[in-house]
Each structure stands twice: as C-alpha cells, then as structure tokens.
Structure 1
Amino acid sequence: MTAPAQSTTVSGAAPRTAPGNAADREVKRRRVLDILDAAGRDSLLLTTHTALTWYLDGSRVHISLAGDPIAALLVDREGDHLVTFNNEAGRIAAEELPQGVSLHTVPWHGPLHATAAALAGDGNPLFESAVTAELRAARQQLLPAEAARYAQLSADAAAAMTDVLYGATPETTEFELVAGLAARIVSVGAEPLVLLCNGSGRSDFRHPLATHAPLGRRAMAVVCARRDGLVANVTRWVAFDAGTRQELDAEARIAAVEADIFRATVPGARLNDVFAEIQTAYERHGFGADQWKQHHQGGPAGYAGRDPRVTADVTDTIVLNQPFTWNPSGPGVKIEDTVLLTEGGIQVLSLDDRWPAAEVDGRRRPLTLRP
C-alpha cells in the first residue's frame, strides 16, 4: 500500500493565548455556582488537573506531566481567583489566564492551597474532594468551543498514527515507533500522556510500555494526547503480512463488541447498565464471559483519560454532547477511538480518512494497517 501524504495540521497560533471561550466559561461558572447553592456554601477550591483545566477552559496549569498543578483556584460568588507560585505567574498571566480571573501569587516555596483557601471570605471553602460527583456531572456535556477543540485534537492524534505507522517496518523497534508518535503529538501543540506499543513478541500485554524489541510481523500502538486540558485516546494496529484467519476473525468480533457498546451509549442510560452490556457483548461475540476482567473497558472522556473508568458501581447518567472512549479488548485485539454522543448518535472524532476502514453498524471503523 502506498504511504499517504503526511498530515500538516497544526492547531493554535504563536504566541499562545489563553484558549478559554468567554461564553463557555460563563456556563461553567454557573454550573459551579449551582453546586455551591446545593451545598449551601459560598466558595469552592479547585486543585486537580481535571477540574482546573475544565473550569479555566483549557489553561495549562502544569510544568511536569507527572507533577501536581502549579496553581489552585478559588471560585466564590464574587469571582474567580487563581493562585500560582511567583516563578510561574509571568507565563500564567501572559499565556494561560482567561479574562475575568484574578491572579494571586505565593512564593515558590509557599503554601499554595492554604493561600488560595485563605481568599475565601470565611477562610473555609468547600474542597473539591467533597463534590467530586457533582463536578464530574458539571463537565459531562461539552460546550461548543471545547467540543470543536476536542474534535481537532482527536483528528490530530489519529493523523499522527497514520503518519507514523505507514512508515513502520518489521525492524522498527517499539521505542522508535513511540518516539515518532511523541514527535508528531508535540508538533501539533499537544502532550503525549500515554504512549504504548507491543510488537508481535509482546502481544499478550494489554498495557505494553515500549521496549527495544522490533515490531516483527504485527504491532499495536496507543496514544493518549492532551491539548487545552482535553485528552484524546486512539489505538491502531499495523501488520506486515495478511494475518491469520484467527486474527482476522478476532478483529471483526471485537469491532462487533464495540458496536454493541455504541448502541448502548444513549442519553438517559446509566453507565453501570452500559457496563452490563459490555459484559454480555463479550460472551455474545465469542470472547467468553470473563473477558471484561482482563482490562478496563473505558468510559466517559474529556478532561481526564477516563472520567471515570466505568464499573458496575458507576451510576452516572449519560447526556448528549458527552465524549467517550470505550476500549474493548481480547487476546491480541483491541479497538479504541474518541467519540462524541450527538443527537445523531455516536460521532467518531479520531478519524483519519487515510486509514483503512470497514463499515460496522453504519460507521467507519479502523482495520489493521498493512503498509
């Protein structure tokens, strides 16, 4: 197969300006004030990456991808107050601060959260951990500007997969493959939060961190890319032969499991009911009743890789314009894309028209690439 022309999509502009959309931010503030009204409180302290990037509508409040946020935000009835360290304030003010948010500083060695909490009128704000479920519900439904940003990020992540995997060979190592993916993700202004790869010698691992092993005859690659706080998730497969009958059959059956999950993902359904459908779908399509126990199944997406991972105990109700990443898997097979539940049904966001696909239940689903 001839390699396609590389995608050159680059989102955003230089120098960077805060991505926050004023109309979307007004809605988010109203949602938080509703939480305060229900709790009978006057202020809320936000401290996690997920809550901060959602409420600030895409501001980058990290330095290390593995570290805690370098900011905390107090939302009260008078306004929004962002506290950061003195050595971060210049960048935050120039590139990340949405209009209408007051910026406060604390010494780089000072107490970030305590300083933010002290800004509350009574010095005793409601803490994020007390309203985890309420905040998750507040960010379920993507607003117009963030939905557009998410669609572009998802398309960029899918394009990165196409660009890199078309250039792979059996001799390419897993590290070389994920290095190429990292470069493509960074080149479009995103951050590679997760990069996974297993060549044919390591296909039993569902979360395969890369090694120096060559890909061999068949490989899986996974990317979780973050931009403006939103996280897109994509899995793709590449093979350098025609595939065995068993492999091709398993690929078709895992796509059928996914189609059943998509049909169950409708407004008003509860996530634990979708989880029950996942369990029966594995058995229905020949993977056995216990296959769901071998790997998590995904769930709502957006400002966290999964928000949350779905289990039998998660009873959230699905709403329109909510993003998802389901990732059913079996021995040697997995399928995963970032999607949005719209009035017309499931819309796959992480599509690249250059990638080979087959129609499954009325939508294009990725096949294994054979370059």
Structure 2
Amino acid sequence: MAADPRRADLGEKLVALRDLATRLDVDTLVLREPANLTWLLGARVNVPQTLDTACLDVVVHLAGEGDPRLVVVTNAIEAPRLRDTELAGLDGTVDVAWEVVPWWEGRDARLPTGDRVAADRPAGELRSAADGLAALRRRLTSVQQATMAEVCRDAAAAATAAARVVEPTSTGYAAAGVLARELLDRGLDPVVLLIGGAPHLEAHRHPLPLAEPVGERVLLVACGRRQGLVASVSRIVSFGEVPAAERGAYERLLRVEQTFLDASVVGARLGDVAAAGCAAYAEQGFAADEWHRHHQGGLSGFVPREFPAHRDSDVVLEDGSVVAWNPSAAGWKVEDTTLVLAGGPRPLVADKDWPTLDVGGRRRPDVLVR
C-alpha cells in the first residue's frame, strides 16, 4: 500500500513547529484551533460542522534534540474512530501517545501549563502561539497544494453536476440538497451552502436556501472541505438567454475579479490587493461604493475565509498562500479559490464541462444557459 502523503508531509510541519517553538522560547505547543489541527494532521477534527471546536487537542513536545513527541487528547467516544480512520497510521509516523478522558470530563485538565508552554487558545498566563501558527498554515506545503487542487477540481465538478439538475421550479432547499449530494458523492463535506433564486440575487449577498422556486436564474454557492482544505465555488445558471445589458454587467464583474487576481502575487500586501480590487468597481462602471455591500474575500485554505480582507490587512502573500476572492454586483457573483505561486496566481476551481470566457488571459466561468 502506498504511503499516505499526509504522513510524509507531517515531518515538514513538525520542523516548522520546532522553529516556532524556538522563536517563542518554549518547549511545548498546544494546538486546539480546528484550522491548526487540520493543517497539522490533514484530517477531519470536527463532529458537528457548526461548532468552532475540535473533538481533540494535540500537544507537541519539542524539548531537546530528539524527534518531537505528540500527545492526542480526546474522549472515549472519539478515540476509537480517530485511531481507525482520521489518524490511522499516525502511530507509525511519529512518536505519539493518546490521552483518553471519559466523555463526561473536559480535556482542559489534561493539557500542560507553565512558562515553557504556548497555545493557540491560551488561557490564564499561558503564552500565545496563535499568530505564529496562523502564519504557518497560511503557506501550503507542496503536498497540501496538490490536495487543494484536487479539492477544487472536485468542487467545480460538483457544482457543474448540480447546475445541470436544478430546474426553475426547484425550491432553494431542493437545489441545496442536489449540490450537497454532489459534493458528498465526491468526498467533500459541505461546510457552506447558499442558493440564490432570481427574486433575491441583487438584494441578498448571502442567500440561504428558501422554500420557494428559484425562478429563471439561480446562484449556487458552496464551500467543500476535504482533509481540512476548503474550496469555494460560485456558479450561476440562467434558464433562458441572458439579456445583453445584464451579460455586459457580468463581464465587467469578471474584469473586477481580474484586478484582484492580477494583484495576488508573491510579496503583495493583502490590503493593497483588496484596495486595488475595490477600486476596480468604479473603473468598470459600477458604483464606487459597490464593495461596501459585501466583503470581497481574502485568505483561505483551512477555512473558507481567515478574515475578510480590507485595505488595512497587513498580511503579505507568500509562495503557497491561498486566496478566495468573491466580487459581486448587479445580481452577479464570481468566486474562485486561487493558489499564489512564484509564477503568478493559479485559480483552481475549474471544470472543463462548464462554459468559460477569456478574461485577461485566464479562462473564467461564464453563465450556464439552459
């Protein structure tokens, strides 16, 4: 059986954690944030999708010159499942111990404390490793980049399949069910599902599914997650030809997106990328304050958005950063998940079966007319 690339990738991340511990002058790091845990383990660390808490904690002991030692802290419900599925093979890759608590006890008492310990969710006098860990996970390793490309490809295919099934008479809930099924069939957990029917496209930027027919146009939005990595995708279906003026507005929006993508290069300050994209609305004939009506996206990777990017965002994009921009205007929206590389930005959410337009030398999603 071929080795799991996630396990081979673990060594690279443990080296990065040792460097972080050295900078913080600590011997032990405690990881509790779901995004940090999925970055380290390449695994599902949740039970409910809706909670910002994980079902395990990981303690990384880094003292001395020897190999790091991991302690997985979880409860008696989750331990067997984690051993058999999500973390299968971990014991053979690194020195790992399991601290299993009864389900009626919390895990906090089993976690280390002291002045040689830092955590991403520090309590009391414990030192914070939150910023350092966030910086590490915002630069994907080569293995994670390959996985992200697969996740985005499958998310795009799921959206295409759903778009060919939904009808004008489908309710928003039915359309969401189709999209969720297509994601799950491809091994993607649907962590965001939005369905915008024709009556609400211009007014509602986060359209939750409704129990009414979608009508003559529908927006399908999803974030699909596998091995912790998230692909964001938006697709629009028109049941009938799009009037020329409306199509023109969509194409102008794609040129707004082009500005975001063109600016997303290694070494760029995130706030400068956001400012350039926001300024493009007026340049493309939209209201200058159109960007006030919806956030424009930002850093992605292990969450749909780390935070909405704005002109004061001082994070610098690196080789391996991930951004997901989602400009919207006049009832239209476009979205992709893009890998920032030394050779330029690489949009990943593409499907050969979806119609495209050439915008600035890139193939970008067109409206699917049925």
Aligned counterparts of 1:274 and 1:123: Cα–Cα separation in 2: 39
Q: Does 1:89 align with 2:73?
A: no
1:35-46 to 2 correspondences below 5 Å: 35-46=20-31
> Any conservation in 2 of the 1:267–1:320 contact (CA below 8 Å)?
yes
Q: What residue in structure 2 maps to residue 285 of structure 1?
A: 284
Aligned counterparts of 1:355 and 1:275: Cα–Cα separation in 2: 28
Relative to structure 1, the CA distance from residue 331 to residue 348 in structure 2 (aligned partners, 3 Å threshold; closer, same or farther) is same
> Any conservation in 2 of the 1:220–1:237 contact (CA below 8 Å)?
yes
Q: Choose which of 9, 17, 20 in structure 2 pairs with 1:24.
A: 9
Q: What residue in structure 1 maps to residue 65 of structure 2?
A: none
Is 134-143 or 232-241 further displaced after alignment? 134-143
Q: What residue in structure 1 maps to residue 98 of structure 2?
A: 103
CA shift, 1:318, in A, is: 0.5
- 2:59 aligned counterpart, secondary structure: strand
Relative to structure 1, the CA distance from residue 83 to residue 295 in structure 2 (aligned partners, 3 Å threshold; closer, same or farther) is same
Q: What residue in structure 2 maps to residue 329 of structure 1?
A: 328
Aligned counterparts of 1:95 and 1:126: Cα–Cα separation in 2: 29
TM, length-normalised to structure 1: 0.91
Aligned counterparts of 1:73 and 1:338: Cα–Cα separation in 2: 29
Aligned counterparts of 2:157 and 2:227: Cα–Cα separation in 1: 18
CA shift, 1:102, in A, is: 2.3
Aligned counterparts of 2:184 and 2:277: Cα–Cα separation in 1: 34
Aligned counterparts of 1:177 and 1:327: Cα–Cα separation in 2: 21
Q: Choose which of 126, 147, 166 in structure 1 pairs with 2:118.
A: 126
- 1:21 aligned counterpart, secondary structure: helix
- 1:283 aligned counterpart, secondary structure: helix
CA shift, 1:278, in A, is: 1.7
Relative to structure 1, the CA distance from residue 180 to residue 26 in structure 2 (aligned partners, 3 Å threshold; closer, same or farther) is same
Amino acid in structure 2 at the alignment position of 1:247: E
Could you tell me which runs of 5 or more consecutive residues in structure 1 were left unpaired when the two chains were aligned: 1-12
Q: Choose which of 50, 64, 69 in structure 2 pairs with 1:66.
A: 50
> Any conservation in 1 of the 2:266–2:344 contact (CA below 8 Å)?
no
Relative to structure 1, the CA distance from residue 314 to residue 266 in structure 2 (aligned partners, 3 Å threshold; closer, same or farther) is same
> Any conservation in 1 of the 2:119–2:130 contact (CA below 8 Å)?
no
CA shift, 1:194, in A, is: 0.5
Percentage identity across paired residues of the two chains: 34
Q: What residue in structure 1 maps to residue 173 of structure 2?
A: 175
> Any conservation in 2 of the 1:93–1:103 contact (CA below 8 Å)?
no
Bigger relative contact order (CA 8 A; separation at least 6): 1
CA shift, 1:263, in A, is: 0.9
Amino acid in structure 2 at the alignment position of 1:49: P
Relative to structure 1, the CA distance from residue 20 to residue 126 in structure 2 (aligned partners, 3 Å threshold; closer, same or farther) is farther
**1:223-259 Cα shifts (integer Å, max 9, x gaps):** 1011111111000000012112331111011100010
Aligned counterparts of 1:232 and 1:152: Cα–Cα separation in 2: 9
- 2:129 aligned counterpart, secondary structure: helix
Matched residue pairs, number? Answer: 352
1:304-319 to 2 correspondences below 5 Å: 304-319=303-318
- 2:104 aligned counterpart, secondary structure: coil
Aligned counterparts of 1:189 and 1:334: Cα–Cα separation in 2: 26
Q: What residue in structure 2 maps to residue 4 of structure 1?
A: none
> Any conservation in 2 of the 1:301–1:307 contact (CA below 8 Å)?
yes
Relative to structure 1, the CA distance from residue 173 to residue 66 in structure 2 (aligned partners, 3 Å threshold; closer, same or farther) is same
- Kindly report the root-mean-square deviation, in angstroms, between the aligned alpha carbons of the 2 structures: 1.8
Q: What residue in structure 2 maps to residue 10 of structure 1?
A: none
Aligned counterparts of 2:258 and 2:245: Cα–Cα separation in 1: 20
Q: What residue in structure 1 maps to residue 125 of structure 2?
A: none
Q: What residue in structure 1 maps to residue 223 of structure 2?
A: 224
Q: What residue in structure 1 maps to residue 272 of structure 2?
A: 273
- 1:133 aligned counterpart, secondary structure: helix
Could you tell me which runs of 5 or more consecutive residues in structure 2 were left unpaired when the two chains were aligned: 63-67, 122-127
Aligned counterparts of 2:191 and 2:276: Cα–Cα separation in 1: 29
1:251-270 to 2 correspondences below 5 Å: 251-270=250-269
Q: What residue in structure 1 maps to residue 361 of structure 2?
A: 362
> Any conservation in 2 of the 1:297–1:328 contact (CA below 8 Å)?
yes
Q: Does 1:47 align with 2:26?
A: no
Aligned counterparts of 1:18 and 1:132: Cα–Cα separation in 2: 31
Aligned counterparts of 2:108 and 2:285: Cα–Cα separation in 1: 51
Amino acid in structure 2 at the alignment position of 1:207: H
**1:88-135 Cα shifts (integer Å, max 9, x gaps):** 1111111122232322211111121331x23x6x48621204232221
Aligned counterparts of 1:102 and 1:338: Cα–Cα separation in 2: 36
Is 61-70 or 190-199 further displaced after alignment? 61-70
